Every structure is written in structure tokens, then in C-alpha cells.
Structure 1
């Protein structure tokens, strides 16, 4: 009788170790799948400015690499407003632009790679008002969102949802393992 109980404990432990390990991985996976994000931008997305600033600054959640930092600022007529190459300083990527560029809607596009290898890309727009057109109050400009959701944010949000089905599947495996053990134990008990 004692041997059967010891064997039962070992079998139950084996049946529960794999599901427990899978559950631990599933809980840790969403955190590991987090991607670098654009935290803030200057000028901000959808902002209306009286004039074009001398530079566009993008601040990310992780440090960037200079080698893979690509930023473009496009004027309303499709030309580049950049006067140099993007410069990286830690989490910030800055691109100098020509403040004498024409008024209208500008597009900022970026594709950068963080120091840990995560690529991030996206774009947003802002407007430079004509000299004689009214501009919104600073309060209204401050209320506009700083960034738009990037493709990597969407992917990161979806990958975080993967943990729930994995946990459900792990639970089902654990229940099936315990059920199989109980059935085997009943059959072994009837054979005595």
C-alpha cells in the first residue's frame, strides 16, 4: 500500500510539473514580448504650430542605436524638410529641419531600432499654420495627443492576449493529467 501511494505521488508530481512550467512561461511571455514604443514627440501628433521648429525630437521607451535611426520630415509639397541626419542620444532621436519651410501639413515618419534589437516604425502629422491664419491656444495644442498608436504597439497588445488561451490550455492539460491518473489508479485498485 505504501509503495502505491509513493508511486501515485510521483506520477501526480510529473503530471503537474509540465503544466506548472507552461503556466509560468505564459505569465512571463507578455512581459518579454513588450516592444519599444514612441513615448513623446516634439512637435506632437496633430499639433498646429505658428512656425516650423528647428528640429523634430522623438523620445522612445528604450535607448536607440545611431546606425539604424531613420527619421524623415516631409513638407506639404512632398519635399524633405531635413537639413541633416538623425542624431541619437540615449532614448531621443533628433532631426534638424529647415524652419523656413512652407506652411501646411507635415508628416514625420520614423523607423528605428532600439539597443536591444526591437524595430519600431510609425508616422504622424502636424500642421504649420500660415502667418495670417489663427492658431489654437496653447491649451488646445497641449490637449492634443503626443503620439499615435504604432504598428508595434498593436502587435504588442495582441501578443499580451496570447497568455489567456495558453493558461486555459495548461489548465486543461492539468485536469486531463489528473483524470488519467485517477482512472489508472482505479483500474490498478480493481486488479488487486
Structure 2
């Protein structure tokens, strides 16, 4: 009887040891938890400098997004919103149309979205639209270098303006001289006729 009891005890011990070993292995072999959703890319990109504002801003995330909780705001250099309508979700991408007539300067994109598995994601970044219509720095420097000579140019223009009235009076002077000659000739002729009549 003692032998039978001893063998049963050893078997029970083996039964208890196996589950314990299995439990010890589980934490090692369990799959890792799913990673949080992140912003993979954006268009325009962060810190980008563009010649003009694109028709829409697009954000692409690492997981599929939900339309209900997608929020995107685009703010211009004057602090006004340039987004048009509501953000549109397509798979992992969220986009919003913007007013392409907005001024040059720095723009801020802020977003708060929720992935399909419930992970919220929020953040912001900036990009810049340069003023392509204004003069370049080299042109502004050249204009500044030419400024000291501008007073001389203004004096020359002023002198030319002062000379214009004298030139415009030339026809009057010539006409007056001719009139004086005609009057002198007529006076001489009258005098000669008088002398001729008297027989001088």
C-alpha cells in the first residue's frame, strides 16, 4: 500500500509541475501589444518651403482612420483658418481642401484623429509659402546700393524740368522779333513816302 501511495503522489506532482512550467513560458511567448498609431507622412511636409499653397493638405497615418473623429485645422500667417469644409478620410489618409488664394507666410497644421482600433493621435507642424512676387534679397541689396545716387538723378530731372519753360518760350520770342522787323519796315516805308511827296 505504501508503494501505491508513493507512486500516486509522484504522478500528482508531475501533473502540477507541467501547468506551472507552461504558465512560466506564457509571458515569454505571448505576442507583443499593438503599437500606437502614428503620423507616417504629410503633404506638404513639416518645415517645407513651397512656391504656392497646394489645393489640399493630406496626412497619412500608420493605421486606418475613422471619419467620425477626424479633425484637421490649417491656420494661415494672419491667424485665420484656410481649411474648406470637413476633413475627408480614406483608409489611412486624412485630407482637407484649403484656399489657394491665401497669402504667403508660415502655416500651421493641427490634427486630432482616432484610428479604427480606437487609438487617438494628435499633433501639429508648420510649413512656409514664400512670396514669389516680391524682389529677391539680391535685388533688394542692389536697389539699396543704388539709393545714394538717386539725389543726383533727381537734380538732373529737376534741371531738365526747369529748362522746359525756356524752350517753350522760344517760338514767342521769334514771333515777337519778326513782328518788330515788320513794324520797322512799315514805318520806314511810310517815312520814305512822305519824303518823296514833299520832293525831299
Tell me if TM exceeds 0.5: yes
2:32 corresponding residue in structure 1:
29
SS at match of 2:83: coil
Q: CA RMSD in A?
A: 1.9
Q: Give the deviation of 1:18 after TM superposition.
A: 2.1
2:25 to 5, 20, 23: 20
2:43 corresponding residue in structure 1:
42
2:197 corresponding residue in structure 1:
none
Q: Provide, for residues 38-84 of structure 1, a one-character-per-residue CA deviation record: whole Å limited to 9, x for no partner.
A: 12110001111111111101112222121111000111221111122
**Residues 6, 53 of structure 1: alpha-carbon distance in 2 compared, 3 angstrom cutoff:** same
Q: Give the deviation of 1:8 after TM superposition.
A: 3.1
SS at match of 1:59: strand
1:109 corresponding residue in structure 2:
110
Between the two proteins, the alignment pairs up a number of residues equal to 130
Higher relative contact order (CA 8 A, sep 6+): 1
**Residues 133, 52 of structure 1: alpha-carbon distance in 2 compared, 3 angstrom cutoff:** farther
Unaligned runs of 5+ in 1: 135-192
Q: Distance in 1 between matches of 2:20 and 2:116?
A: 41
SS at match of 1:71: strand
The runs of 4+ residues in structure 1 deviating greater than 2 Å are 1-8, 21-25
1:54 corresponding residue in structure 2:
55
Q: TM-score, normalised by structure 2?
A: 0.59
- Larger Cα Rg: Structure 1 or Structure 2? 2
1:8 corresponding residue in structure 2:
13
Unaligned runs of 5+ in 2: 1-5, 137-200
Q: Distance in 1 between matches of 2:11 and 2:55?
A: 75
1:72 corresponding residue in structure 2:
73
Q: TM-score, normalised by structure 1?
A: 0.61
SS at match of 1:84: coil
